[in-house]
Structure 1
Amino acid sequence: MAVKLAEHPIRQALHEEINARPSVPLVAPATVVQLSWLLPREATSERLLEHWMRLRNLPGAVLELDAAAQSLLRWGGLRIKRERHAEFHSYTFYLDGDHDLPAAILSRLPEGWLEASPGEVIAATHVRLRPISDTPPSEFLDAADPFGPALVASKISDGNAWVLSDFQLHEGFIQFIVLDAAMTPKQAGRAVQRLLEIDTYRMLALLAFPVAKEVGAFLGRAEAELAELVAAMSRAASFEDERDILARLTHLAAEIEHSIAASAYRFGAAAAYSALVRQRIAELREIRLAGYSTLQGFMERRFAPAMNTCAAVARRQEELSQRSTRNSQLLRTRVDLELERQNQQLLAQMNRRVKLQLRLQAAVESLSVMAITYYGSQLVHYLAKGFEPWLHIKPELATAVSIPLLAALIALGVRRVHRVVEHEG
């Protein structure tokens, strides 16, 4: 009885990821040529697919595999594999028989098709897979120039094959010679695939090296400027000096952060590609030949120093950012403390002014009470004088009696007004 279970929407895609890029089985003799293009930012999936469809639509083309990450077709005696990666895409061409020049394969392609590929070539690799029975290793080892480029030679796949290369460009291609002693077709395909990936990932990783040189020059200037600003911090004699130093520190920190933002992706990609190169070399399971460098040894001498430089520059950049931030925070704290001190002084001055204003206001109010009392007493005097025939009270006496009463009433009125204002405030 079939059981229907609710599946995660991307379960199938995740499962197929482990089988996304299978190697192509090979039987010696065979020739493999791979070209990898670094994609421009404006390259779209539609444009890449359009370029691929020009091959798919050729008469006689037979599609063997069609997936998002990798496609494979057979046409005109060639097997053509297309791979799409995050920042590059590649075409790998397989042809039976040993061909010493890549042109033997590339000349079979439709005219103008290679030139129309989006991007710029970053890696070009030529692998010749030959049976060791037809080509003994001594044929290549004895022909190597002792004063020429170093020859890399080792046994791979637990001794079932030999690999040789001088890592020089021949007709624009890095060439590997693989001598098959006892590999199965799948082993041969995996070995060739690893060599192709080693060369491609090596070139992609090295894209960070020019960036590291440029960033290193900037860091030298930035470190000198930071040291100068830190020294100026200890010599700052006034608040204005500290504010000027803080402005320069903030500007320097912004430049460092801009440099990090511009180079972080490239340095991160270099670290990832470098790890893939080391992994692919380890998967070859090399056996050293006396007197010759292995792929691992060659990469440790020629490739690893560049990657170490990139990693060191990336660390140096992060450390400089932390130092500039730390010094900026320290100086900003000093500036903030000075601003707080100035604010406290300003508040103290304002408090003194308010007290003076209150005293002045109290004095004015006292004078106002006296003035109003005076005018009020005059009104009482005139009233008493007018009613004197009927009240029989002397105006002077009435005026004298009214003065304290008027003063008390006016003072109480002023106090009541104060209370109302304070309550509303």
Structure 2
Amino acid sequence: MTTPEHATGGKLTEHPLRYKLNNELHARPPVPVAHPQLVSYVALMHDGVREEDELRHLQALADAYARPLPQAEGGHLQLDLGDFKLKWERHNEFSSYAFFRTPEASEDCSRGALASVPAHWFEGLPGSLMVATHIELRSTAELPPRSVMDRLIASGRQAVGAQVSDGAAWVFTDFMLTDGWSRYTVLDERLTPRQAGRTVQRLLEIETYRIIALLAFPVAKDVGRLLGRAEGELANLMDGMGSASSAEDERSVLSHLTRLAAEVEHSVARTTFRFGAAQAYYRLVRSRIAELREQRIEGFPTIGEFMDRRLAPAISTCEAIARRQDDLSGRVARNSQLLRTRVDIELQRQNQELLAQMNRRARLQLRLQETVEGLSIVAITYYASQLVQYLAKGVKHLLPLSPEAITAISIPLIAGLVALGLRRMRRKLAAEEGAH
């Protein structure tokens, strides 16, 4: 066998995920089966169960039969215990256990492949049961299709049937739970073991994905009730916004809108995964039905027709609720933004009025300041002229003019100098303020 180093010439650096990604295409192969064969299948939701817990439970089964447990590669393994085979797979939300057993002649097949599975081990499977299905594979020579159709018609139940794989096999079911199990009958006309295995696997996947896809339906009902209430509340808030007569009213409406937006966004975050998963599972159901290549049997609806009538409306409801929820979220956001804009405009108007009042007060303060400056010039001039007069009286015998004349002459000089000084001071303060 060529090693990866030889295949690449030993010169190219291997990506660490190269082989893992390539092997993913070959993961979870179907188990080849030949008629007669009984298949029992259960799918359990994880509910916090770890992969290690499931492997430990599988190890206990292998130990009971003194068989080694194969290594779980990519979350799946097959275990041959002689009396039966087990295929285990772990998926994102659930884990599946498929049991395969060849029945004895004239054996009661009501328990499917579980007749050989230890009951205490099966009942201890970790997780919560979501899907339980029995499939009985027989040859058309052993069990003619006509006899199965007659039995189903006589039961009065709504049965589903079709020829699959271009007429190489027949599939019958009623999608009903009997003793907690749904049941399929597959009649082999000319299937090879691998084709039979793929047919069984497709039926099991259809059964699993259709059930898990419907997990979104009760969620959609709950969300529908929330949306009905929230849409009515939003309409009332919009009426309140239109009739708001004060900023306080608008702030009250905005507070209620914010609470409503938080509630809707919480619902979106809680349900987005579930609605998206429902779409993905439904696409898988449609894909597996297409792979069956059904041919209609007169008097029986096909699996595809049954899903179109029963499953598609539920998925359409989930889609409609998801779109309605997203639309409501957008409407609440738009209306909240509109109301915030109105509140901001009102705040800006109030700020402008406040600034105008401040400007009026500043102008008044400036006038008062100018008045005070005028009075200051008078006061300073008065006291300075008194000082000049006292000086002039002290040296009046040395002066050619009388002290009163000198005082009179000094008054305009002093007033001019004081006014000039105050003016220069104002200019200096204005320059410093402009620099900042």
TM value normalised by structure 1: 0.95
Greater displacement, 229-238 / 373-382: 229-238
**Residue of structure 2 aligned with 1:16, choices 11, 23, 30:** 23
Matched, 1:55 2:61: yes
Partners of 2:58 and 2:412 in 1: CA distance: 110
Q: Which residue type is aligned with residue 296 of structure 1?
A: G
Quote the residue 2:233 is aligned against: 225
Q: Is the 1:204–1:273 Cα contact (8 Å) retained in structure 2?
A: yes
Residue pair 1:152, 1:295 contacting (<8 A) in 2 also:
yes
8 Å Cα contact 2:112-2:135 kept in structure 1: no
Question: Could you tell me how far apart the structure 1 residues matched to 2:112 and 2:196 are?
Answer: 21
* Deviation of 1:227 (Å): 1.6
**Shift in Å at residue 262 of structure 1?**
0.8
2:176 to 168, 171, 186: 168
Q: Which residue, out of 72, 88, 98, partners 2:94?
A: 88
In the superposition, relative to structure 1, how do residues 305 and 230 fare at CA in structure 2: closer, same or farther (>3 Å)?
Answer: same
Is contact 2:39–2:112 with CA below 8 Å preserved after alignment?
no
Q: 1:308 to 1:382 in 2, by over 3 A?
A: same
| 1:151 and 1:164 in contact (8 A); partners too | yes
- C-alpha separation in 2, matches of 1:176 and 1:54: 30
Contact 2:103 2:109 in 1 (8 A): no
Q: How does 1:119-268 map to 2 (within 5 A)?
A: 119-145=127-153, 148-268=156-276
Provide, for residues 36-87 of structure 1, a one-character-per-residue CA deviation record: whole Å limited to 9, x for no partner: 11111x3223223222222333343255673122101111421111101111
- Indicate which of 336, 341, 349 corresponds to 1:328: 336
Residue 32 of structure 2 corresponds to residue 25 of structure 1: yes
1:156-202 Cα shifts (integer Å, max 9, x gaps): 01100000001111221110000000000000000000000001111
Say which SS state the counterpart of residue 117 (structure 1) adopts: coil
Confirm whether residue 375 of structure 1 aligns to residue 373 of structure 2. no
Aligned residues: 424
1:20/1:69 contact within 8 Å kept:
no
SS class of match (1:73): strand
Counterpart residue number, 2:44:
37
Give the one of 349, 356, 365 matched to 2:364: 356
The answer for the alignment partner of 2:279 in structure 1 is: 271
Correspondence for 1:74: 80
Amino acid at match of 1:24: V
What are structure 2's unaligned runs of at least 5 residues? 1-5
Structure 2 distance, partners of 1:405, 1:381, is 14
TM-score (norm 2): 0.93
- Stretch of structure 1 that moved more, 42-51 or 162-171: 42-51
Q: Deviations over 1:307-338 (max 9, x none)?
A: 11111100110111111112222222222222
Do 1:161 and 1:182's aligned partners in 2 also have CA atoms closer than 8 Å?
Answer: yes
Name structure 1 gaps, 5 residues minimum: none
SS in 2 for 1:162: strand
Deviations 1:95-114 (A, max 9, x none): 11276546353343345323
Confirm or deny: 8 A CA contact 1:242 1:331 kept in the other structure.
yes
- CA 1:294–1:100 in structure 2 vs 1: closer, same or farther (change >3 Å)? farther
Q: Which residue of 2 aligns with 1:6?
A: 13
Q: Are residues 66 and 249 of structure 1, via their aligned partners in 2, closer, same or farther at CA, if it must alter by over 3 Å?
A: closer
Distance, in Å, in 2 between the alignment partners of 1:196 and 1:155 is 17
Secondary structure of the residue aligned to 1:122 is strand
Deviation at 1:363, TM superposition (A): 1.0
Deviation at 1:371, TM superposition (A): 0.8
Q: Following the alignment from structure 1 to structure 2, what is the Cα–Cα distance between the partners of residues 195 and 59?
A: 29
| CA shift in 2, pair 1:104/1:288, >3 Å | closer
Letter in 1 for 2:61: L
The secondary structure found in structure 2 opposite 1:290 is: coil
Aligned to 2:3: none
**Cα separation, partners in 2 of 1:116 and 1:373, compared to 1, 3 Å:** farther
Q: Tell me the equivalent position of 2:321.
A: 313
Change (3 A) 1:317 1:101: farther
Distance 2:410 2:123 in 1: 115
Once residues 181 and 82 of structure 2 are traced to their aligned partners in structure 1, the CA distance between those partners, rounded to angstroms, is 23
The correspondence for 2:413, drawn from 382, 402, 405, is: 405
User: CA RMSD for the aligned pairs?
Assistant: 1.8
In structure 2, distance between residues paired with 1:104 and 1:326: 58
Q: 2:430 aligns with which of 419, 422, 425?
A: 422
Rounded Cα–Cα distance in structure 1 between residues aligned with 2:369 and 2:339: 44
Report deviation, 1:115. 3.1
The one-letter code sitting in structure 1 at the alignment partner of 2:336 is: S
More displaced, 5-14 or 91-100?
91-100
Separation in 1, partners of 2:80, 2:110 = 18
The residue matched to 1:364 in structure 2 has which SS?
Answer: helix
Partner of 2:299: 291
Determine the structure 2 residue equivalent to 1:281: 289
**Contact 2:40/2:112 (CA < 8 Å) preserved in 1?**
no
- Code of the residue aligned with 1:46 in structure 2: it is E
163-172 vs 104-113, which moves further? 104-113
Check conservation: 1:208, 1:310, Cα contact below 8 A.
yes
Provide the C-alpha distance between the structure 2 equivalents of 1:133 and 1:68, rounded to a whole number of angstroms. 39
